[in-house]
Amino acid sequence: MNYFSSDFKLGILGGGQLGKMLLAETQKLDIQTLVLDPSNEAPSRFSCTLFQQGSLMDYDTVYEFGKKASLLTIEIENVNLDALDQLEKEGLPVFPSPKTLRLIQNKGTQKDFYVQHNIPTAPHQRFESLSHLKTSLDKNLLAFPFVWKCARFGYDGNGVKIVRTAADLSNLPEVECIAEEMVPFKNELAVIVVRNVSGEIKTYPVVEMEFHPEANQVEYVICPARISTEIAEKAQKVALQTAEAFQHVGLLAVEMFQTKDDAILVNEVAPRPHNSGHYSIEASYTSQFENHLRSILNLPLGNTDSKVAGIMVNLVGAEGFSGQVIYENIEKIMAIDGVTPHIYGKRETRPFRKMGHVTIVNQNMAEARQIAEEVKNTIRVIS
């Protein structure tokens, strides 16, 4: 099939920042794009050939949107899967497949999948509701402390809570959830695996994530991770095992813990471009977004190696500010060598909302980390 400068139309469900960055790659290759998103202020709205506002969870909206596309992909997992099933039945290529999305959309099903496929992961229990979980505590079938996760619709910084006492359960929603054993770990790592339709598969280098202590959001993504070669190889092996088990087409971001005794445990996966791969736009030979495109179009995969050390700093709304966004001191960070800001196009800021990211590239990792700290302390997302 001829994808370039042709009538081929790539449909993307979701028009957030991931869609916006994916569209930069489609523009390089002159591929027509259709985007569906619930917000008329979606970051992707200006970069696509055709933008449609509508619900990603509504069967008819997703089905009718899919009928206009030659191939369908996603930039967010929470989409109507029944509509995707039907489109796939009618012959539309959908990547990742609705089957994979079903396994991943629900954290309980996702965790069960790891256990069934001997993929190392922290022990967990599933509960149909918070009341069900509390009953298990009363019967001593579950013990403090544990990590509570809502089974559906959670995301970075939302739907996850460390529960040490009964009081920690007081404000949690009455939803399907899992309780995961707390694992003492020394590093949070991630590996992005890319696999095309023909089964060609590659991994990006292992990255390390540094988290904000309160917001449970990633502050820095560091590539390569500051770990031994042995641990890096182990992490890549587990990531490949995970992608093969899902028979996934596209990008699969595998988030992992390196435990105190150097075991590698899978925390969760995302079947799409991911925050942990943003550094690749500047630091890699082929960005995660370009490789996502290559994989779903069944083109040869690009080189996943890094050209230089890369660190990504998330730009999130400062506490105490809501309203029209202002990026304070952005010109100061742009004066530093190797610093590239990415602004997502969200006009309204609020505390901890992801508004953009900054990549720092440098031949020297220690220097890159120092500059990342300077960037973090200089730029402020205010209103």
Q: Is 27 left (phi over 0), alpha (psi -120 to 50) or beta?
A: alpha
Chain center to CA of 246: 17
At 44 the three-state DSSP class reads coil
**Binding residue per annotation — 67?**
no
Q: What is the rounded CA–CA span in Å between residue 163 and residue 182?
A: 10
**Element spanning 209, H or E:** strand 207-211
At 86 the three-state DSSP class reads helix
* CB contact at 8 A, 357 and 315: yes
Strands 71-74 and 9-13: parallel
What angle (nearest 5°) sits at the alpha carbon of residue 340, between those of residues 335 and 342?
125
Bridge partners (DSSP) of residue 71 are 10
**Binding residue per annotation — 268?**
yes
- Dihedral, CA of residue 293, residue 296, residue 299 and residue 303, to nearest 10: 50
**Binding residue per annotation — 358?**
no
**Binding residue per annotation — 312?**
no
At 331 the three-state DSSP class reads helix
Residue type, 285: Y
Sequence-separated (6 or more) residues with CB below 8 Å from residue 23 = 12, 33, 35, 44, 47, 48
**Binding residue per annotation — 111?**
no
**Binding residue per annotation — 107?**
yes
At 178 the three-state DSSP class reads strand
**Binding residue per annotation — 275?**
no
Binding residues: 107, 149, 180-183, 188, 267-268
Binding residues for ATP: 107, 149, 180-183, 188, 267-268
